[in-house]
Amino acid sequence: MAGGSQRIYKARIKSTQSLKKMFRAQELIAASRIGKARARTAAAAPYATAVTRAVSAVAAHASIDHPLTTERKQPTGRAAVFVVASDRGMAGSYSASIIRETERLIDQLQADGKEVRLYAAGRRAIAYYSFRGRDLAGEWSYGSDAPTAEVSDEIADTLLGAFLAPAEESGVDELHVVSTQFVNMVTQRPRVVRMLPLEIVEGVSVPGEGEAMPLYDFEPSPEAVLDALLPRYVRSRIFAVLLDAAASELAARQRAMHTATDNAEDLIRTYTRLANQARQADITQEISEIVSGADALASA
Amino acid sequence: MAELNVDLVATDRKVWSGTARTVVAPSVEGEIGILADHQPLLAVLRPGKVTVRTDDGVAVEAQVDGGFVSVDENLVTIVVDEIEQV
């Protein structure tokens, strides 16, 4: 028996050490990317602000009556749900909590008698739903920790297309987005937002009493300007959602990998102690064997 | 003389920002030139060339493929989808 348990502990320590190295590497990679992800969020902000301001300018000028802001006259009974999860795991409960939130939303929509059409971004969500044999109306795996404007536009155009499609071509009544909100480095919250029909509330400035509303010149017409603005507004919202989700994913991964590294260290410490104990036990046993052997010889 | 505060933004970044003398942008109804104290304007852009000039000459000259421009109290915001600086 001697050395048997020692060898097992040594092997465990070794494998845990190599796991620890991987966790540490993942943690460092995630940490280095968070800064970049947040910089991208900040870089996209001026566009979002400009579009929002322009939309509110039109809203203040003319009553917004646009297909994107109004409910369908004949509801189709369909609702689109867009899920933003991650492409890779090793991010703790990041994707799991998004999927849980999505399931809750789907149940709620179905309870209201709506048919749900799912759109998924991120391989984790796609794998989850295709494994369960659920149909996805659209799927994107695009490198969820660094979304580009091109992918975001493609997603937004698909979703807008579904919303604007006539009822017989499987148009949807509303669009819900399930994604993660980056609160800070330690808190990321799953968030469900109804994105379409649009409710333009943020940043709409209402002029005070006696204050003249700036008289805008619209070229070519308020309707045409709105037509050009609203899809961009949706696109910038979708892009913001993807960027926020990317930052959240990286933060979740960094935290999960940090915990994993700590756990690996704990395991290594425990196994080292056990290995030492086993070695001591082996030595003690050998000594007592030798001593009792010598005693037996002496007394013989 | 009043100056224009210009912000030129693309989907994922701010391209240029600063004070300028004139801005020329390709609106759907033809090129528009914007000088200081222009009346408030919201115009849709078609693909074409945006030029921003300061006192020192041309600051930005870029090919855009659509977007819009808004002018409000000498604050000019040019929002474009895709941009290629010339």
Per residue in A207-232, pLDDT (tens digit) is 544 455 567 788 788 888 888 888 88
Q: How many beta-carbon pairs under 8 angstroms link A with B?
A: 88
A249 — pLDDT class (breaks 50, 70, 90): very high
Domain ranges of chain B: 4-85
Match 């322009």 to its residue by tokens: A54
Closest CB from A50, A217, A235 relative to B9: A50
The SS3 call for residue B76 is strand
B22 vs B4, B6, B47, B84, CA distance in Å? Answer: 7, 9, 19, 20
A217 with B70: CB under 8 angstroms? no
Closest CB from B9, B40, B66 relative to A47: B9
B65 vs A35, A86, A261, B68, CA distance in Å? Answer: 30, 31, 48, 10
Task: Give the pLDDT score at A64.
Answer: 62
Match 């600051």 to its residue by tokens: B59
Is there a domain that residue A212 lies in?
Answer: no
- Tell me the ipTM for this assembly: 0.85
Residue of A67 and A190 predicted with greater confidence: A190
Q: For the residues A239-262, what does the mean pLDDT come to?
A: 93
Is there a domain that residue A227 lies in?
Answer: yes
CB contact under 8 A, A214 and B73: yes
pTM for the whole thing?
0.84
Q: For the residues B9-25, what does the mean pLDDT come to?
A: 89
Q: Are A247 and A279 found together in one domain? A: no
A197 — pLDDT class (breaks 50, 70, 90): confident
Count CA atoms within 13 Å of residue A71 on its CB side.
8
Count CA atoms within 13 Å of residue A34 on its CB side.
17
Per residue in B33-50, pLDDT (tens digit) is 999 888 888 899 999 999
pLDDT exceeds cutoff 80 at A285: yes
Per residue in A23-37, pLDDT (tens digit) is 999 999 999 999 899
CA dist., res. A190 & res. A174, Å (int):
19
Mean per-residue pLDDT of chain A: 87
Is there a domain that residue A115 lies in?
Answer: yes
Query: Does B84 touch chain A if contact means CB atoms closer than 8 Å?
Result: no
- Is CATH 2.60.15.10 correct for B4-85? yes
Task: Give the pLDDT score at A206.
Answer: 52
Per residue in A134-167, pLDDT (tens digit) is 888 889 988 888 888 888 989 999 999 888 888 7
Query: What residues of chain A lie within 8 A of the CB of B11, using their CB?
Result: 44, 47, 149, 152-153, 235-236, 239
Q: For the residues B51-58, what does the mean pLDDT come to?
A: 87
Q: Are A164 and A184 found together in one domain? A: yes
Is there a domain that residue A300 lies in?
Answer: no
Task: Give the pLDDT score at A205.
Answer: 52
| CATH number of the structural domain spanning residue A161 | 3.40.1380.10
Domain count, chain A: 2
Structural domain harbouring A263: 4-27+256-290
Q: Are A34 and A132 found together in one domain? A: yes
Q: Is the peptide bond before A67 cis (omega within 30 degrees of 0)?
A: no
